[in-house]
A and B are shown apart, each in its own frame.
Chain A
Amino acid sequence: MFWQLVVSGLATGCVYALVALGLTLIYRATEHVNFAQGELAMVGAFLGFTLHVHLQLPVWAAVLGGAVLGGAVGWVCELAVIRPAEGQPHVNVFIITLGLSIVLKSLAGMVWSHDEFPFPPLFSPRGVRLGSVVVTPLNLGTIAVALGIMVGLFAFFRYTRHGVAMRAVCENPEAAQLMGVEVRRVYAFAWILSAGLSALAGALIAPVLNLSTHMGAVVIPAFAAAILGGWGSFPGAIAGGMALGVIENLAGGYLAAQIKNMVPFLVVLAVLVARPQGLLGEREVRKV
């Protein structure tokens, strides 16, 4: 029972981790908190779904295509509503992303309706017995894909020009600008990458939750995951996501089923009271 809950919790946790990574990417590059992250995941998953159903693409190609199109949606969002607010306080941009999440959700409702759709899973959801634990290829595949993306991201930041430029902008946008980094292009790229990642996350969780416009609510556990791991830390987002997925599943299994939905909120409150910097985050030093 215990390991069973841990394995399926890890699979959900990986999805939270991917959305939390998307949040962290945008935060680190632009210092903005993006409330529309969950809606980007939802729209990306719907785009993949459309590619599969209407263009008859195989599932894996449709999911990848959805991620690319989702990235494009992120770019459009950055150009249309974030860039015009350049230089405004972060609170204002936070409110703009709130508005953006409402807009994306209602647009998606108009295009695809607010009904639920069964999303074809990338891997078989039929269980395989491993000792006392039944694991599904879907669980394992989700974990594998998420881990692969994380390794890829790490390599990107470490070894590519774009990745290094992005890290430079994180450190100090002005200095990066003076060194010849196109800061605006980096901001746009952060949105594209972040939206693409979230679209993948959306396609990974859609077979479990069913595809619907309400899937954007995944942003809440993603926030909780990022805070649990340490807000603004990439390894923190990953660790926090996985930990949250497991905690949520264990609480649902051993305590009461209703408590499962409350876990993200209780985790946020507990972390902020006991250890605001999260598991892996750095303590903030405030200056005058």
Chain B
Amino acid sequence: MRTVRKIAMWAGAAAVLWVVKASLGLFVVNLLLVYVIVAVGLNLLMGFTGQISAGHAGFLAVGAYVAALVGTHAPQVGAVGALIAAGAAAALLGVAIGLPALRLAGFYIAMATLAFGVVVTEAILQMDVWTGGADGMYVLAPSLFGFPLDSDTQKFWLVLGTAVLAVWTAQNLAGSKVGRAFLALRESDVATETLGISTAAYRTLAFALSAFYTGVAGGLFAYVVSYISPDAFSIELSIDFVAMVILGGMGSIGGSIVGAALLTVLNQYLAVLQDFKALIFGLAVVVCMILMPGGVSAAWKAALERFRG
């Protein structure tokens, strides 16, 4: 039964991607998969340890610029090397943010990370010698084991492979010792500490891991859009990420995937509506939160329960 359900879910995901491709194009599919990685990474932080980050666009920016710079100055390392560098750079910053955040609770972490996100874009603007400042920079097509990836289709396979790997890792992590420590932290950090689990180590690890995911996604983002500038990584984007996780359901990996897909597609369809876009987007967030407090995943579980009677 479980394998059947798993196969059904993967088939469903493939069908959704195909529909999105047919209606909005492969570029949007690639973008959607990048956001799936971000949402899953952010969920490791928010859903598992209960720390809200309102600055993940900052980590995405770090990843994107590191991957772009590696591509320009050291193209021989290829896409895999550049993506690992992007993730590692973001993870280092994640530790740097996670350490002071150890002293903070809830809403304060959200504000600190919000500030971090803005400081990152400002730093990119100031370092214009490398980053091109407000003019942005073009991203060279990456190469995977010597093969250049310059079409959307080739990039799709790179993004898809990374996304599947990211989701699979997160799912396994959720059931591991680390994942259980994260969940314990979310429930009560004092109680967790008394059980002999180092809250400091695991909270920092959660930040680093979440930043790594987002950094890698940033590198892929750079490849997909092939031109990056600081204003692409706004507070609004960070908030979209938070909305993806909450809408999908905190702590549910599957939920994050659905949340990322929903918001990306919604954003694309609303783009033609111009003035009404923001209004409908805002209303959708409000109404979804009121009607489905636990996100899509909780609503789905409730629906299944009712179906079984």
Contacts and interface: CB of A to CB of B under 8 A. Distances in A.
Interface of A: 33, 81, 84-85, 88-92, 94-96, 98-103, 105-107, 109-110, 223-224, 227, 231, 262, 264-266, 268-269, 272-273, 276, 284, 286-288
Interface string B113-143: 0111011001000000000000000000000
B115 A266 contact: yes
A85 B293 contact: yes
- What size tier do the contact residues of chain B reach? 35 or more
B107 interface: yes
A89 B119 CA distance: 29
Given A94-B52, A227-B108, 14 more contacts: A94-B107, A96-B285, A101-B282, A103-B279, A106-B276, A268-B114, A269-B115, A272-B101, A272-B103, A272-B104, A272-B112, A286-B189, A286-B190, A287-B190
B190 A288 contact: yes
15 contacts: A89-B293, A91-B246, A98-B285, A99-B286, A101-B282, A102-B285, A109-B275, A110-B279, A224-B115, A231-B107, A231-B108, A262-B122, A269-B116, A272-B104, A288-B188
Nearest to B107: A33
A282 to B, nearest CB: 14
A102 B282 contact: yes
B285 A95 contact: yes
Interface in B276-299: 276-279, 281-286, 289-290, 293
Given A227-B111, A265-B119, A286-B105, A273 B100 contact: yes
A81 B283 CA distance: 10
Contacts of A92: 246, 289, 293
B224 interface: no
A264 B118 CA distance: 10
A85 B290 CA distance: 5
Contacts of B119: 262, 265-266, 269
B289 A272 contact: no
B239 interface: yes
Contact of B278 (A88, A90, A105, A264): A105
B290 A95 contact: no
B64 to A, nearest CB: 20
Contact of A107 (B105, B114, B115, B279): B279
Contacts, number: 109
A126 to B, nearest CB: 35
A255 B136 CA distance: 26
Nearest to B247: A95
A84 to B, nearest CB: 5
A107 B277 CA distance: 11
A276 B246 CA distance: 26
B86 interface: no
B93 interface: no
Nearest to B280: A106
Nearest to B193: A288
Q: Which of B101, B105, B107, B122 has the most CB of A within 10 A?
A: B107
A227 B115 CA distance: 12
B102 to A, nearest CB: 11
Contacts of B110: 94
Given A227-B108, A276-B104, A286-B190, A85 B289 contact: yes
B130 to A, nearest CB: 18
Contacts of B111: 223, 227, 268, 272
A96 B290 CA distance: 8
Contacts of B112: 268-269, 272
Contacts of A265: 114-115, 118-119
Contacts of B243: 95, 98-99
User: 9 smallest A-B Cβ distances: which pairs?
Assistant: A102-B282, A99-B285, A103-B282, A106-B278, A265-B115, A99-B286, A106-B279, A268-B115, A273-B100
Q: Which of A33, A102, A227 has the most CB of B within 10 A?
A: A102
A30 to B, nearest CB: 13
A89 B106 CA distance: 12
B218 to A, nearest CB: 20
B85 to A, nearest CB: 25
